[in-house]
Chains A and B, each alone.
Chain A
Amino acid sequence: MRIKYLGEKIIEGFIYGSGWITTLVVVVIVVFLFREGSGLFNKKPLEEGYGIVINAENKVREITAQEIRQIFEKDITNWKELGGADEKIVVFSLSNIDKYFTEKDLGESFSLLPEKIKEFVQENKGVIAVFPEKYLATSLVHLEIAPISFWSFISGKDWYPTATPSPQLGVLAIILGTLWVSLGAMLFALPIGIGVAIYMAEIAEKRVRELLKPFIELLAGIPSVVFGFFGLVYIVPLLQNLFNLPVGETALAGSILLGIMALPTIITLSEDAIRSVPKELKEASFALGANHWQSIARVIVPYAKSGVISACILGIGRAIGETMAVLMVTGNAAVIPTSFLEPVRTITATIASELGEAQQGGIHYEALFLLGSILFIITFLINWIAELVTRKK
């Protein structure tokens, strides 16, 4: 009897432990995501092991990653634009070194390179030299590059995480792309979803409803990669022909798929909310002479409002977090969206397509984890708001 009692206590110990498993998991997820993601801050957005040197007379001491990119793209050509003296910028790096020195000048396995760089930098007032740190003499003046901040990450418009010499880590276009595609999805998923929910809860006969229910469940069960495949083979060419587009991979294609995929969430939860409206309200409305539709529109749905709204919010959450379908049909161009007929790129698609090639612990890798953390925060907030809306009732 004693042993049995002990065994029971052990089992109950397991049960108590398991009860807290989700809490534990969420905490561990937060810790790991944010730990990897926050490694990005205060890192220099410069290729690993590289340094930038300038002429000693140059007054500029710090520039941003974006400015480096503009210099290399020849959008900025004068130090004046960066707050320095009126001096033309001379870019000097491994990619154009053959313009100034021959292979012979540099000696065997670049043994003379440090000396040549030093000479070149001291002679040219406007030089900006980007080389691996081991070739840069310590006596040279280093140009500091502004470290990555949360603000520069969020508000930056350029996403070229593998650009050299300075990776561009701005996710504004990606976040806006995510919201854009989800907005498009909701424009038609919300009316359709709520309409079907009303139909199933109020209008449909029991037989029809029992027939519809498994259909909706099945729709919810179809893997997103299958929707993506369907979109790629069917919707993308259709849109391309219909709107005469250069490419069919557009925000619209993503919105259509996301809308379809968010439908089951919206329908099921809204239907539950509408169904839980007390019968008395409906009967009272009928007694006052209202017909069925008037009762639905003025009594039943307004009463179920909070549940329906929370269903819609969760539907949006589903759309924002969806990965494979948008990855396959939206074209993945990281530009700020202006139209539904252009390619966009979402947070999820960026992570899924780039994480494989990002080096573990590198800037790109950490940037993707930070992006994942942002996605986590967005969906966490959405769930929380949905929770608040439901509880308000």
Chain B
Amino acid sequence: MQNAKNIKQALAFTVFRILAGLVVGILLTVFLFIFLRGIGIISWEFLTAAPKEGMLKGGIVTAIIGTFLLIFYSALIAFPVGILSGIYMNEYLKDGKVKRFITIITNNLAGIPSVVFGLFGLSIFVNTLGWGVSVISGAFTLAIMILPIVIRTTEESLKQVEYNFRLASYAMGATKWQTIWKIVLPTAMPNIITGLILSVGRVAGETAPIIFTAVAYFLPTIDFSIDKPVMALPYHLYVLSTSGINLQASRDVAFGTALVLVSLIFILNLLANFLRKRLKVSSTK
């Protein structure tokens, strides 16, 4: 009896270990697969030259720049609004029906599929507001998509700031806003930044919201204007792997693009984790 239940336990735990190993295995497979076939493609030229000859030659610099433009502008839109909204949720709103309502709505916004944001962006920014397929249309669409992430990160980070900090600040005669600005926000900032970095990763990798709002199939010249379409890494990868005329030749470029994109995400994740660790160390001091 005693034995039987221990055997059962050993069996169950082994299965769980295998499952965990499987998940790690899947991730490593995807990574190795892209790394091994992509690393040979990466060169200085690949990273700094514009695409040539039906995108089979040259580099992907226009796609890299496009992705960074989208990141920059969507962050510019989403971060201030999202952080203010997070402050409202945690510092101004008392627990109750209103707070629960906004929380549910925010969760729902986070659950909306990315392609629906694409539809929405096309309808409002591209057509109704007449901005056309452009960086700014795409940036607004992406900003709306990451807004819930920014809000929730801010809210969670502020929640972790000890309440006594606020009381001490009030006791010194500071107003509510002074307390938030000088005490609460700086304390919560490293945590908030970690979340913001992860949301940037989301912007860098999304394809569906920008297909109809921001990207062009092929642009050979570097351009920083916001009212024109751009190339972007994820869309470039999609185009290369599905609609090329010469699939075999474009596959190499696709692997290179995938590696650049995955590396970008990887670096952002590392950065976020690094910040989080450093924060933990400094807060235990």
Contacts and interface: CB of A to CB of B under 8 A. Distances in A.
Nearest to B211: A352
- Please classify the interface of chain A as helix (H, G, I), strand (E, B), loop, or mixed, using the class held by over half of its residues: helix
Nearest to A349: B115
A323 B27 contact: no
Contacts of B151: 22
A32 interface: yes
A140 B235 CA distance: 51
A314 B107 CA distance: 11
Interface stretch (A50-58, A94-102, A144-152, A195-203): A195-203
A117 B84 CA distance: 67
Contacts of B114: 321, 323
B102 A218 contact: no
Interface in B73-109: 81-82, 84-85, 87-89, 92-93, 101-102, 104-109
A322 to B, nearest CB: 7
Contact of A324 (B8, B208, B261): B208
A220 to B, nearest CB: 9
A369 interface: yes
Contacts of A191: 19
Interface stretch (A156-164, A274-282, A334-342, A373-381): A373-381
A111 interface: no
Contacts of B108: 26, 380, 383-384
A63 interface: no
A199 B19 CA distance: 9
A360 B123 CA distance: 9
A234 B33 contact: yes
Nearest to B177: A8
Contacts of A35: 123
A379 B112 contact: yes
B225 interface: no
A293 B89 contact: no
A21 B124 CA distance: 16
B113 interface: yes
B144 interface: yes
Interface residues of B, number: 84
A215 to B, nearest CB: 6
Interface stretch (B48-56, B160-168, B197-205): B197-205
Given A33-B116, A203-B13, A23 B205 contact: no
B119 A351 contact: yes
B206 interface: yes
A226 B34 contact: yes
A344 to B, nearest CB: 17
Nearest to B119: A372
Contacts of B175: 5, 8
Nearest to A260: B26
A8 B34 CA distance: 51
Interface string A215-238: 111110111111111101110000
Contacts of A195: 15-16, 19-20
A22 B123 contact: no
A291 interface: yes
Given A19-B93, A22-B109, A352-B115, A324 B238 contact: yes
Interface in B225-271: 234-235, 237-238, 241-242, 251, 254, 258, 261-262, 265-266, 268-269
B205 A226 contact: yes
Interface string B66-78: 0000000000000
A200 B23 CA distance: 12
Contact of B19 (A196, A232, A356, A380): A196
Interface bin, chain A? 35 or more
A353 to B, nearest CB: 9
Interface stretch (A10-18, A41-49, A68-76): A10-18
Contacts of A376: 112-113, 116
Contact of A11 (B5, B85, B109, B177): B177
Contact of A29 (B9, B112, B241): B112
Interface of B: 5-6, 8-9, 12-13, 15-17, 19-20, 22-24, 26-27, 30, 33-34, 81-82, 84-85, 87-89, 92-93, 101-102, 104-109, 111-116, 118-120, 122-124, 127-128, 144, 147-148, 151, 175-178, 198, 201-202, 204-208, 211-212, 234-235, 237-238, 241-242, 251, 254, 258, 261-262, 265-266, 268-269, 273
19 contacts: A11-B177, A18-B81, A19-B85, A22-B102, A22-B151, A33-B120, A203-B16, A212-B24, A222-B30, A223-B205, A225-B205, A226-B262, A233-B33, A314-B111, A323-B115, A351-B118, A356-B212, A372-B116, A384-B108
Given A221-B198, A352-B118, A352-B211, 12 more contacts: A22-B148, A35-B123, A195-B16, A217-B198, A218-B27, A224-B205, A233-B241, A294-B5, A321-B115, A376-B113, A380-B108, A380-B111
